[in-house]
Amino acid sequence: MGPLRTGRGAFTRAASVVVAAAVAALFAGCATDTTDADTPDTRPPASATTPTPSRTPLTPAQQLLALHTDVPGACAVSFSVDGATVDPQLQVHDRLFDHLPIPRVAGRVFAGWYPDAATAASASADPAARAGNPATRVNGSHVVSCPSHQITLFGAWTTSDALAAAKTRVPILMYHQFTTKAGGEDGWLRGNYSYIEDYRAQMQYIKDQAFYLPTWDELSAFIDGALYLPDHAVIITDDDADASWLTLASPINEQLQLMATSFVITGSGVPTQNRYVLPRSHTHNMHQAGSNGKGQMVNLSAAEIAADMNASAAALGGVKEVMAYPYGHNNETSREGLRQAGFEMARTIAQGYVSVGSDKLTLPCVRINYGMGVTDLKKQIG
């Protein structure tokens, strides 16, 4: 044994031993029942434990936001609609709504989404008055306003009879190039050029008359008879994403907040466009004549067409819902190529309107030529 140490450290250790022993004795005493037989025992039963507060479970919308904390402006949109269950959807504040759900229920026709239950009920009661009003019906032509990161939209239903009674025909306007010359351009493509002030006046007319601007997925559901569209709807499109569209025309759509579609030849590059423009495919490298003098869409095999369209879709971020045939040329082989690539709709240059039951791969259009003003537009779209 070593020499006995009597310094401060040794004393402290000895005192610690004493304190530890006292604490042990205290807890040992607490563990022994020393209650007087005449004194009521008010201690809780040995099996009782202090409850642990449980967390309030996250709502589906909150769960969606929790999964997307990396998305600036993330907005969880919840949906309330009688007779259908629709999961919350992630949207982005200050962008156009992207592919809002379109519920389908046998025997019913969906009449759109609305910002409150009362307006949705009104739309169900009178779809002709409410279901096509862009001031109340919310769709992909509207910008998401969601500063608190959560909103709820309310759905409305109508009937097949109401859809038939509307006799809706949707015009797809087709523009090409634009000019600042009131007298127009020279050459054989003169008719392709719209005078920019005519275009401005036409867009202002569409805005002032509160035309409903359907998205392509809405048009598809309308063709199927599953979605109500008013006979006061129009789709605005431009072919080629020409420089005159980018610099002269599309800024007017941004200013007036009118959604339009730009059919882009993606092999020539995909230009950056404003938030009111939907870039869609005008093929990747098939906007050129083939061996028979017509477009490649009627010269290549279905597999070759599908490959080109897949490349175009990839350049557009995977969007495949609709394309525009170059020169309007198409046949069963080109349509089979689109089906193989997963495209659902295609716009031709044939004059006409889209109705319930229209062929989705041969959609007609209303061509806008040089010299057409607001009066001419009224004759075409009402």
Are 135 and 195 part of one and the same domain?
no
Mean pLDDT of the 71-80 span: 98
In the listed set 129, 159, 189, which residue is the last one of a domain according to the structure?
Answer: 159
Give the per-residue pLDDT at 126: 87
Where is average pLDDT lowest: 29-43, 64-78, 368-382? 29-43
Claim to verify: residue 268 and residue 131 sit in the same structural domain? no
Q: What is the pTM of this model?
A: 0.85
268 and 303 in a single domain? The answer is yes
151 and 174 co-located in one domain: no
* Three-class secondary structure assignment of 334-367: HHHHHHHHCCCEEEEEEECCECCCCCCCCEEEEE
The size of the chain, in residues, is 382
Mean pLDDT across the chain: 89
* Domain-terminating residue out of 159, 175, 191: 159
Instruction: List the beta strands (DSSP E) in the chain.
Output: 74-80, 89-92, 109-114, 150-158, 172-175, 177-179, 193-195, 235-239, 260-264, 277-281, 322-324, 345-351, 363-367
Residue 268 pLDDT more than 50? Answer: yes
Is the domain of 123 the same as that of 179? no
Q: For 168-201, how does the pLDDT look when each residue is reduced to its tens digit (9 = 90+)? A: 999 999 999 999 999 999 998 999 999 999 999 9
Domain that holds residue 117: 60-159
Please tell me the least confidently modeled range out of 1-5, 179-183, 305-309, 312-316: 1-5
Quickly state the pLDDT bin for 226 (edges 50, 70, 90): very high
Q: Is residue 275 part of a domain?
A: yes
Per-residue pLDDT at 104 exceeds 50: yes
Whether residue 85 lies inside any domain: the answer is yes
Domain count, the chain: 2
- Cα 207 to its chain centre, rounded Å, is 21
**For range 77-83, the mean pLDDT:** 97
Three-state DSSP class for residue 61 = helix
CATH code (residue 101): 2.60.40.4270
- Identify whether residues 94 and 241 lie together within a single domain: no
Instruction: Show Cβ contacts of residue 116 under 8 Å, excluding neighbours closer than 6 positions.
Output: 154
Residues 184, 99, single domain; the answer is no
Q: Has residue 291 been placed in a domain?
A: yes
* Residue 318 confidence (pLDDT) above 60: yes
Q: What is the CATH number of the domain that holds 336?
A: 3.20.20.370
Pick from 135, 159, 183: which residue ends a domain?
Answer: 159
Whether 216 and 313 share a structural domain: yes
- Tens digit of pLDDT for each residue in 334-362? 999 999 999 999 999 999 999 999 999 99
Q: 209 and 84 share a domain?
A: no
Q: Is the pLDDT of residue 315 over 60?
A: yes
